[in-house]
Structure 1
Amino acid sequence: MGEAEAIVNLPESAQEPQTRDVPKKGLQQRRQLLLGILTDIEELEASEAEVLAGEDREDPPGMS
């Protein structure tokens, strides 16, 4: 009985650390998702810039 009483009287931080991590874990997951999206966008913009730069080097149609 004394052991159970000691567990019940534990400080809040020692009782359930998982419940405090839930919001933090959610934020970390959203951050990872957003970073992945940002990386995809940056890659698409880089490939778009290459395509657009390539258009400048070509002659207009019918001018060859």
Structure 2
Amino acid sequence: MRTLFATTMLIAAATTMAGCSTLKGAALGGAGGAGVAAATGGDVEKGAAVGGVGGAVVGTVVDD
């Protein structure tokens, strides 16, 4: 239950602050992805990579 709460809070924070630009989106996504991976016991490097790519995409879309 605690892990689910932490994951939800990280996603919510990253989503609300995400992406006025590609770099900000990538940075926030990478941090969020690493945090979620750490909280759920996953691979932090892969979580950061996936989060960074997702954040960059969101940042690009929102910025346009």
Greater gyration radius? 1
Q: For CA contacts below 8 A with separation 6 or more, give which structure has more relative contact order.
A: 2
What TM-score range do you get, normalising by the shorter chain? 0.3 to 0.5
Greater per-residue helix proportion? 2
TM-score (norm 1): 0.32
TM-score normalised by L of structure 2: 0.32
